[in-house]
Amino acid sequence: MQKGQIRVQTENIFPIIKKFLYSEHDIFLRELVSNAIDASQKLKTLSSIGEAKGEIGDLRIDVILDAKEKTLTISDRGVGMTQEEVDKYLNQVAFSGAEEFLNKYKDANIIGHFGLGFYSAFMVAEKVEVLTQSHNDEAPTVYWSCDGSPEFELYEVEKKDRGTKIILHLNEESKEFLEAHRVKAVLDKFCKFLPIPIYFTDIAEEKKEGDEEKPINNTSPIWVKKPSELTKEDYENFYKELYPFSETPLFWIHLNVDFPFNLTGILYFPKIKQSYEIQKDKIQLYCNQVFVTDEVKEIVPEFLMLLHGVIDSPDIPLNVSRSYLQGDPNVKKINSHITKKVADKLEEIFNKEREDFQSKWESLGLFVKYGMMTDDKFAEKANKFFVMEDTAGKFYTIDEYKTATEATQKNKEGKQIILYTTNPVQQDAYIQAATAKGYVVVKMETLVDASFINNMEMKWENTSFVRVDADIVDNLIDKQESAESVLSKEETEQLKTLFEVKPADLHVTVEVKGLSTDVAPVVATRPEFMRRMKDMAAIGGGGMMGFYGSMPDEVTLTINGNHPIYQSLLKETDTEKQQKQVRNLADLALLSQGLLKGSELTNFINRSVEMMN
């Protein structure tokens, strides 16, 4: 029997472990089970090269809860340890000085270093016992125990089965881990896809005859398999396993890289409704099938944080708690690789199954637009498969749109004009006027489109987006093909005077033009620049946008002098009736732009009822 106390130069390491080593105490179970996995995998390796003799049998890990005894036991049938190894891996690491310890491991990738994760046990246990038998049958079985002080016991005991058993005597602060549902939840979170079967036993639970013993983990998740071995159903079933209450994903990307770094995983494109009840942090990061974190923003490009799925890489550096990524060249390479793989997959689907791609654009568009705004390399590739849907339901790539509108939609500076609508229902009159003249109006009605439009105008040369209600349709494209007004100069001035209405909080400009007789009597338009500034201010823009947000809305009322209604309105002798008719025509135009509100809207309704009477 050996007893001892190791002299240390600085304070004992256990207080450091309890306070700083791990951010969450439930990590202890992941670390201990992961060590058991490592021991089992190591035995497999030794057996394959002939260094472990005899049959290795069924490898398994058992987690046993005994609430009555206040213990939690983790046992494996792995490689085990000799007395020399116990002394090396446990004592020398555990009783190093805190300063030496932190200096030694602050930059290390700890996964695979048996010993360090083991000491997370002392976050929850007042005493830890280890019983271990090496795969080398000649070595004795070793017992080690420690109560969290610099003192330990280490001695030989009667021969036991191969492997390691760790018994945690849980402290008062950690009584939560004496509840079976709590332990199961932690195992499900961290150990769901570990490669060795894990069985959980609650000593207090009565076993029924015929109950089948089932592991709590899926030892062979599909991301460790080759894509050629998998079917569509395999991918969809695995998605249900990850996200039980989610709709079937649009499609997925299987990552399988072994050079210049190791990376496997599956990324799913989920269905996203227009309400954009988006949940980020749905991608899980694993290291050799050990769950690490679902905060993967350093690895996955920001615009793909809306994806779901798993990424597994032993090459991603982790800090001592395996919970936070550290800066490393590999992380940047992986980030770039994922971006490229996603862009290549989208382009492939677009080229091979364009109709299917377009049918999913409502959800896909969010990823693509967000990516084009935030990642220049992705934007360069996405120009080939980014599509816009027009109001008739036809889809165009940017090149196709430019080709289709080359002759009709360029302004005097030679810029290609992309006419768009943010609300096809509300802006229907403007859309009809534009499409009747052969213009193509595309839908830009999602939450990201305002930012997307501004961003793309900077990236796409000689291209300008103009909302379909920003001006009279011909003026939008700088075409001056309007008919001559049938009104005399005096009648034109009279109409201008009649229409000089001053609704609250609006800056109104009145103009009279000779438009087609099928155009509305009055058309209200808002200058593109000012409307954009006010829209951005409304969603939280500061600085100059905040300044524009405080200004009154600008609106131009264009009077269609060729509309038949003015032939009778100008001859109306009842001045009060004439003024009411004029105001109603103006209010109808303002209503089409959503600019008639509050008392102005109430007055319009009352006036309309009165005029009908």
In sequence order, the 6+-apart residues with CB closer than 8 A to the CB of 455 are 372, 373
How confident is the model at residue 528, as a pLDDT? 79
Best CATH choice for the domain 486-526+550-613 from the list 2.130.10.10, 2.40.50.140, 1.20.120.790, 3.30.310.50: 1.20.120.790
| Overall average pLDDT of the 588-612 stretch | 83
Tell me yes or no: is domain 222-340 CATH 3.30.230.80.
yes
| Overall average pLDDT of the 34-45 stretch | 89
Strands 2-5 and 151-157: antiparallel
The H or E element spanning position 240 is: helix 232-242
pLDDT digits (tens, 9 = 90+) for 125-168: 999 999 999 998 889 999 999 988 878 899 999 888 899 999 99
Q: Flag the least confident range among 92-96, 200-204, 212-216, 343-347.
A: 92-96
How confident is the model at residue 317, as a pLDDT? 61
- Bond preceding residue 564 cis, omega within 30 of 0: no
329 vs 11, residue with greater confidence: 329
Among 111-115, 377-381, 450-454, the range of highest mean pLDDT: 377-381
What CATH topology corresponds to 2-202?
A: Heat Shock Protein 90 (3.30.565)
Residue 92 has pLDDT above 80, yes or no: no
pLDDT digits (tens, 9 = 90+) for 314-337: 877 655 444 455 566 777 788 888
Tell me yes or no: is domain 386-481 CATH 3.30.465.10.
no
Does residue 445 contact residue 423 with C-beta atoms inside 8 Å?
yes
Distances (CA, A) of 444 to 57, 129, 391, 437, 537: 62, 64, 10, 20, 19
Q: Which two tokens stand for residue 36?
A: 């058991």
Supply the DSSP symbol for 482: P
Strands 553-560 and 506-513: parallel
How confident is the model at residue 503, as a pLDDT? 72
10 vs 306, residue with greater confidence: 306
Residue 546 has pLDDT above 90, yes or no: no
Nearest to 234 by CA among 245, 223, 247, 243: 223
Residue 100 has pLDDT above 60, yes or no: no
pTM above threshold 0.85: no
| Overall average pLDDT of the 38-65 stretch | 87
| Overall average pLDDT of the 592-608 stretch | 83
CA 487, 490, 494, 500: dihedral to nearest 10 degrees? Answer: 90
Find the helix packing angle between 575-592 and 489-498, rounded to 10°: 70
| Average pLDDT score over the chain | 82
The number of helix segments (H) and strand segments (E) in the chain equals: 21, 21
Measured between its terminal Cα atoms, the distance across the chain in Å is: 109
| Overall average pLDDT of the 173-201 stretch | 94
In sequence order, the 6+-apart residues with CB closer than 8 A to the CB of 44 are 56, 59
502 vs 318, residue with greater confidence: 502
Tell me the torsion sign for CA atoms 26, 31, 34, 36: negative
Residue 105 has pLDDT above 70, yes or no: no
User: Rounded to whole angstroms, how far apart are CA atoms 204 and 183?
Assistant: 14
Domain borders along the chain are: 2-202, 222-340, 386-481, 486-526+550-613
Q: Flag the least confident range among 205-219, 230-244, 269-283.
A: 269-283
